[in-house]
Each structure stands twice: as structure tokens, then as C-alpha cells.
Amino acid sequence: MSTPETRSAAAADPILVPPGDKEILSPGHDAASVTKRIAMIPEGRTPIWMFGVFAVSFSLVGLLLTAITYLVFKGTGIWGLNIPVAWGFAIINLVWWIGIGHAGTLISAILLLLNQDWRNSINRFAEAMTLFAVACAVMFPLLHTGRPWVAAYWLLPYPNTMMLWPNFRSPLMWDVFAISTYGTVSLLFWYVGLVPDLGTMRNRAKKLWLKRLYGVLCMGWRGSARHWHHYEMAYLLLAGLSTPLVLSVHSIISFDFSVSQLPGWHTTIFPPYFVAGAVFAGFAMVMLVAIPVRKLYGLEDMLTSRHLQNMAKVTLVTGLIVCYGYLCEFIYAYYSGNPYERFVVGENRPFGPYNWAWLSLVFCNFLAIQPLWFKKVRQSVVALWIISFIISIGMWLERFVIVVMSLHRDFLPSSWDRYAGTFWDWALYLGTIGFFFSLMFLFIRFVPMIPMSEIKILLPEAKVKGGSHH
Amino acid sequence: MANQQEKPPIYGVMAEFLNPQELYDAVKAAKSEGYDKLDAFMPYPVEEISHEVVNHEHSVVSKIVFAGGLTGAAFGFLFQSWAMGYFEPLQNLTNTLFGYHGYGFNIGGRPYFSWPAFIPVTFELTVLFGAFSAVIGMFVVNGLPQPYHPVFNVDSFDRAADDRFFMVIESADPKFDQEGTRTFLEGLSPQEVTDVDW
């Protein structure tokens, strides 16, 4: 079945009225049509195009597994790491992936607290992205230890016969707690949001085993008003807890750099600038995935132009904060009067051997986002997709600039060196991209990617008159 | 069980409505009629209805989360202070009690009890414990997981997670009377009124 049939099913839907520019849900929808529309995707058959996606992404997963196997066999010597650049691709990719995850939590938690109802259509999708991005991110520090199978022994505090504890004063230890908490809380938040929809899927399931599976996964959810009452409170509090959490995670990651004494790293702008960069990269990735999926599944009635325009605005704002951060770094370096700081930021970045990275960064993260000021650009899916793609590259380059360009020329010219990723560095990086997209499309295929219960809140019928608020 | 008196023949009577407004009016009517053991079922949360059903009581989940978060904060901070802070009397105490003590790292001569450095982990554990207590607390308070419930015996109840709204008046309600309650529910102009078997 596949594309033509799924598409024609949607086209034959009499309720499908194209949404206006400002609408977040097609006005033709009612509760039953929302359920049908969203449940149709996991219940239907796999569309042909998805096999193409899986062919590419599963091949990259194969590459990932090969790269990990060879790494475990040979050690981190197969990477381009050297002294002074002991933090190469592994840390660049860790920061890049974690940053991508941040949009999910921003959409699901912060926008919920801010009463932005357009988040209801994209939060599950973005949260899934968070989970998979975190899964990719954690691979890097673990593999960077060289012996991932004993990483727990180094990283986690557990009672041992030597009575030793990891050093809780180290930003690297804070990272362990920040990332593991972030992954766990995101999973909990995602799962809680999924429970009512799993109940819907259970009620719709025709096969007994599937009914039982959904029944177990939704914990026997039956939509009782008493349950919703506690559920809403739990969901709100999870959002309240996730909001400072998401701000803390990238702040703590930035401490890995800013707590050290290295020129180019040791600045107080890092935490806010990292958080803004994370949201910036994350929104770009949401658009990068959502735009094709929306088209291929014909979901324009639920992921409307308004969603894309709002995301484009958030991207522009956070992008400008990031550029403000770049500017601040120069001012700090100049104002510090520290010759090393001035050299690394003011001289090595724009004129050093890696100035191509810095110049491309300025192009990707500053110049390329300027068209977003125009409404016509925000309304064009093609333009948004291209800009999102450029931003994703730009944010990777930003981490390259921060990690490599500060390390390769530090205080003593005698210890200067050059750095480049090897084949295995790239294999691992591309492999995680394949891993991410495999998980993402498996999610799209098997899980209701738009929260049905939350979309239904947007329907006009959901408003009740005569309620006594207090 | 102590409550071995005769079990009522049915679980309750259920009425089906088209939209939240009808359900809200029905719940209000039932409450003013004096029914209290009733529940509403809806595919998405409608605050007004939930508040009416729980008699405007505040959800206990918030207290659970507060306690959980506080536990996480206390545990995180005290644990790090013990493991890293190296207070001698405390070390001796845990050594005597459990044969176990912390470990003082001398890092550049900084104080062992460098508490500002313990804040990030304390914060993360606050959030982690808070989040777990929100999720586990919510499920426990709701009595979930519960694989079987009588309301699932009603055929049309499948739509409670789709587009229909239901109200059940339980037979456990002191005012319940199978015929009378049925007549009352029929008076609310529902789509259908059904007896809910056990």
C-alpha cells in the first residue's frame, strides 16, 4: 500500500479542509477524525518510501557497528586524537547531539508552561527526537574512554571495596548526572504523554495480542476524570521540573569547557550561549525531519504552516542569541587583556589554519538565518528545510571551533599541533546519524507521532461553558 | 474481605454523551441530585469536568513530587558531603556503623567540603527524584496499572478514548437504585444508557 493509498485515503477524507495560515489544526477536524488520522499511520502498512529511508539509515547503523567494533579492537588510536587535541570528534559530536535534543524538551516543557498550544501537535515528535539524540550523544563519551565496558566503573558512584568515589567537584562528573537525568526524565515525560494514546490504540486494535500489548503499555488507562485530574498535575509538574533541567544540561556541558583555564573556553557567556545554541540546533533538526514527514504522510492539516513559522521564529531568535555569544567572545578576549585569550579568539579563529571552519560558521549561523526575518521565507517549506540543514552543519562547526581551535594552539607554541578526523571518526559520526534516523523513523512508523489526546484539546468542542474556576 | 455483604448485581449504570458540554452538565446534574460515587470518562482532559468529579479537591500528586524532590536534594547534597567532605567524626561514625567511609580528594589544596561544587549534582538528583515521584505517584494514586475494570464490559466504551464521553454512577453509591438511577440518567438526554456488569 504505501504512498498512493495512504495519500488517497487522506484525500478522500471529506473533513480535510486546508488550514489557514494562522491555524494550528484544520477546521474540518473533530475528535473522531483526529483519532483516525493519527492512528492510521501505526495501524497502516509500511509505505514504500520508508524502505528507502531504512535502507540508508540501517546501512549507516552497520557502519556504526563496524566503527565501534574496530574501536574496541584497536583503541582510540584509530581516531585523529593527539596531544594537545585530546578532545576531538567525540566531544564535538557529544555536544552536537545533546544540543539537538534540547528542542524536544523546550517544546514539550517550556512551551507548555507558556501556554503555547501549538506545541501540542509537535511535542511527541520532538521529544522522541530528544531521546534518540541523547542515545547518540552518550555513545561518544563512553567510547572516548576507550573501554566502554568498564565506563560504569569510572563514572557511576557505587560502593566499592576501595572506598573510592568519583570526584563530584569535576564538571565531567556533573555531566554524567546531567545527561543521565536528562535522558531518564525525557523518557518519563514522553511515556506519560503517550499513555492516553496507547489506551486509544488498545481500544482500536483488532488483534488480541496487539490489544494486550497496548493494554500493558498503557497500564490499563481508561480516561477516568479522576485519573485525568492527577495526570494533568503530574504532567504539569514534569514540565516544571524539565524546564530548569533542560537549561541546566547544556549549562553543565558548557562547564566542561568554561570551568577549565583554557583560552577560548574560560568565559562566563558559555552557559547561556550553549543553551541558546542547543535550542537553535534542535529546532533546525525538528524542521529538518518534520518537513519531509509532514509532506510524505500528508499531515499538513495537523502540522500546519503556522507550526513551521513559529519554529522558524524561535530558530531566528535563538540563532541571534548565539551570534551575540560569538560577539561577546571577541569582546571578552579583548577586554580581558590576556594575550593568550586574545590570540586564540581574536587571531587564531579568523586568521588561523582552521579559519575556514570559523568563516563557514559565521556563514551558517549568522548569514544563512537572516532570510528568516521575512514572512515569505518562513512560509516556504523548501527554504526552511535548506536553512535548517545549513544550521545543523553550522552548529557542528561551532563545536569544532570551540573544541579543536582552543586545544590545538594553547600556551606553548612548542606543543602546538594540527588535528583532523580520520575515516573512523567520520564513520562513527555518520553512523550515529544513521542510528538517529533509524530510531526516528521506527518511531514514526509504530508510535502515534502526534499526541491524539492533546490535539483534541484544541478542538472547539473541548471548551466547556459554566465551569467554575478557582 | 470484611465487606462480605451481598455484592450489588451490577457495577453501575453508564450514560454516553456526545461532547464535553453534555458530560459536564450531566455531572453537575448528578452531583446536585446527590450522587457522589460517580466517574466521568473522556478521551482528553477537560479540567472543568475533572474538577467537578473530584469535588474541586487539589491533586495529591503535587505533594508527592515536592516530597520526592526534597528527598533527592537532601540525598544528593548529604551524600556528596559525606563522600567528598571528609568530616572526621562522620567518617569515624559510618566506619564504625557500616565499615564504610568516604574519601577525601585533595585537589589543589581546596577544602574537602567545597559545597558550591556539589550543587549541580544536587540539582540533577532533585529533578530526577521529583520526576520519578511524579510518574510513580500519579500511577499509584490512580490505582494503575489495572488490567481489568468493569467499564470495559460496555461495548461502546471503546469510544471513550476516541470521541465519546461517559458518566458512570456506581452501585456503591448510597443513593443508587438500578431503576431510579437509570431513569435519572435517561432524563439527561444521553445517546445511550447501559448497565455495567462486574
Domain ranges of chain B: 12-43+163-196, 61-141
Percentage of residues of chain B with pLDDT beyond 90: 24
CATH topology for the B12-43+163-196 domain? Alpha-Beta Plaits (3.30.70)
What integer pLDDT is reported at residue A5 of this predicted model? Answer: 44
Cβ–Cβ below 8 Å for B131 and A185: yes
E strand or H helix at B13, and its extent?
strand B12-17
What would the mean pLDDT of B36-48 be, rounded to a whole number?
A: 89
Contacts of B162 in chain A (CB under 8 A): 31-32, 35, 200, 203-204
**Residues of chain A where predicted confidence (pLDDT) is lower than 50:** 1-12, 14, 469-470
Residue B60 has a CB neighbour count (10 Å cut-off) of 13
Smallest Cβ distance to B54: which of A177, A226, A457? A226
Three-state SS for chain A is CCHHHHHHHHHHCCCCCCCCCCCCCCCCCCHHHHHHHHHHHHHCCCCHHHHHHHHHHHHHHHHHHHHHHHHHHHCHHHCCCCCCCCCCHHHHHHHHHHHHHHHHHHHHHHHHHCCCCCHHHHHHHHHHHHHHHHHHHHHHHHHHCCCHHHHHHHHCCCCCCCCCCCCCCCHHHHHHHHHHHHHHHHHHHHHHHHHHHHHHHHHHCCCHHHHHHHHHHCCCCCCEHHHHHHHHHHHHHHHHHHHHHHHHHHHHHHHHHHCCCCCCCCCCCHHHHHHHHHHHHHHHHHHHHHHHHHHHCCCCCCCCHHHHHHHHHHHHHHHHHHHHHHHHHHHHHHHHCCHHHHHHHHHHHHHCCCHHHHHHHHHHHHHCCHHHHCHHHHHCHHHHHHHHHHHHHHHHHHHHHHHHHHHCCCCCHHHCCCCCCCHHHHHHHHHHHHHHHHHHHHHHHHCCCCCHHHHHCCCHHHCCCCCCCC
Smallest Cβ distance to A200: which of B51, B142, B162? B162
What integer pLDDT is reported at residue B140 of this predicted model? Answer: 94
Burial class (CB in 10 A: 0-12, 13-18, 19+), A98: buried
DSSP 8-state secondary structure symbol assigned to residue B5: S
Q: Give the residue carrying C-alpha cell 518519563.
A: A188
**ipTM of the shown complex:** 0.91
What integer pLDDT is reported at residue A13 of this predicted model? Answer: 56
Three cell numbers at A468?
467554575
Q: CA A41 to CA A353: how far, in whole Å? A: 50
- How far apart are the CA of B53 and the nearest CA of chain A, in angstroms? 7
Residue A21 has a CB neighbour count (10 Å cut-off) of 10
Cβ–Cβ below 8 Å for A233 and B25: no
Cβ–Cβ below 8 Å for B43 and A452: yes
Contacts of B146 in chain A (CB under 8 A): 219-220
With CA atoms as reference, the chain A residue closest to B120 would be: A174
What integer pLDDT is reported at residue A9 of this predicted model? Answer: 47
What integer pLDDT is reported at residue A418 of this predicted model? Answer: 92
Q: Give the residue carrying C-alpha cell 566503527.
A: A67
The SS3 of residue B176 is coil
Q: CA A189 to CA A186: how far, in whole Å? A: 5
Helix axes A171-204, A225-258, angle to 10 degrees: 150
Contact B26, B38 (CB under 8 A): no
Cβ–Cβ below 8 Å for B42 and A228: yes
Which of the residues B94, B133, B144 would you substitute to probe the A interface, choosing the one with the greatest number of A C-beta atoms within 10 Å?
A: B144
Contacts of A159 in chain B (CB under 8 A): 100
Domains, chain A: 3-459 (1.20.1630.10)
Three cell numbers at A234?
503530574
Contacts of A225 in chain B (CB under 8 A): 27, 39-42, 49-50, 52-54
Tens-place pLDDT, residues B13-27: 888 988 888 889 888
- How far apart are the CA of B71 and the nearest CA of chain A, in angstroms? 15
What integer pLDDT is reported at residue B76 of this predicted model? Answer: 94
Three cell numbers at B4?
462480605
Residue A284 has a CB neighbour count (10 Å cut-off) of 30
Is B5 a residue whose pLDDT tops 80? Answer: no
Three cell numbers at B98?
557500616
What integer pLDDT is reported at residue B136 of this predicted model? Answer: 95
* Selected residue with higher pLDDT from B104 and A397: A397
The chain-wide mean pLDDT, for chain B, equals: 87
Q: CA A457 to CA A461: how far, in whole Å? A: 8
Contacts of A468 in chain B (CB under 8 A): 48, 51
